[in-house]
Amino acid sequence: MKRIALALAAAPLAVVAALPLTPAVAQQSDLAKVNAYIRAVTTMTADFSQTDRNGRVVTGELTLKQPGKIRFQYQKGVPLLIVGDGKALTMIDYEVRQVQRWPIGSSPLGALLDPNKDLSKFGKVVQTGDPTVLSVEARDPKRPEFGTITLVFKRKPTAPAGLELYGWVALDAQSNRTTIRLTNHRYGMPIADSAFRWTDPRPRGRSG
């Protein structure tokens, strides 16, 4: 009798599972998976290639530590460094000794660097035509000056939350497009907070 009861209880679930998801339900399911990925990845390193709007490509290594810490260490010969320390993103140009700094939440990368954000409130799934690829466009309609980021994931059962971040396309308010592609992902290693510090190239007395 207990087995029959269990079988009957499972029957409705089996019927529901066999039904195709409606577009709205599928979108919410995919957004939930992306949220789960962002929360699951506590630390990550990966190699990156960056392509700007002029087609110029540079490479380097990305280091990420949640919440909010990220470092783009560019290849030798590229005098740039981008660091997020949990509160702000800083871009350092060592060639001209210039430092630019802005809140992480004011950057398209804020969608990736804040595990407490709910992508279902400001993100939408973009159809790719490839069932193995999940693409999500994130933007704040109330703050268009923050720009737009399109995160691209590959479905991978062995990766965190079943997804692996393939890269993203960031579009700022001036329509400057930057494409990042990631390879050689490594997860879960200890990363010291010192990895997100930087040397200020500006003359003393002019920092801040």
User: 7 phi and psi, to 5 degrees?
Assistant: -65, -40
Residues 178, 144, 71: CA angle, nearest 5 degrees:
40
* Contact of 123 with 137, CB cutoff 8 Å: yes
pTM equals 0.80
The predicted pLDDT at position 110 comes to 81
Long-range contacts of 88-91 (CB under 8 A, 24+ apart): 90/198
> Which residues of the chain fall below pLDDT 50?
1-22
The predicted pLDDT at position 45 comes to 98
93 token code pair: 């140009």
The full DSSP string for the chain is -HHHHHHHHHHHHHHHHHSPPPHHHHHHHHHHHHHHHHHH-SEEEEEEEEE-TT--EEEEEEEEETTTEEEEEEPTT--EEEEEESSEEEEEETTTTEEEEEEGGGSTTHHHH-TT--GGGTEEEE--S-TTEEEEEEE-TT-GGG-EEEEEEEE-TTSGGGEEEEEEEEE-TT--EEEEEEEEEEES----GGGG-----SPTT---
The predicted pLDDT at position 19 comes to 34
The per-residue pLDDT for range 76-131, each reduced to its tens digit, is 999 999 999 988 899 999 999 999 998 887 777 888 888 777 887 888 999 888 99
Angstrom distance (rounded) from CA 122 to CA 62? 25
Q: What is the CATH number of domain 21-191?
A: 2.50.20.10
Nearest to 193 by CA among 105, 65, 82: 65
The predicted pLDDT at position 20 comes to 41
Angstrom distance (rounded) from CA 44 to CA 200? 25
The predicted pLDDT at position 205 comes to 59
How do the domains of the chain map onto residue ranges? 21-191
The predicted pLDDT at position 4 comes to 26
The predicted pLDDT at position 204 comes to 76
* Contact of 114 with 26, CB cutoff 8 Å: no
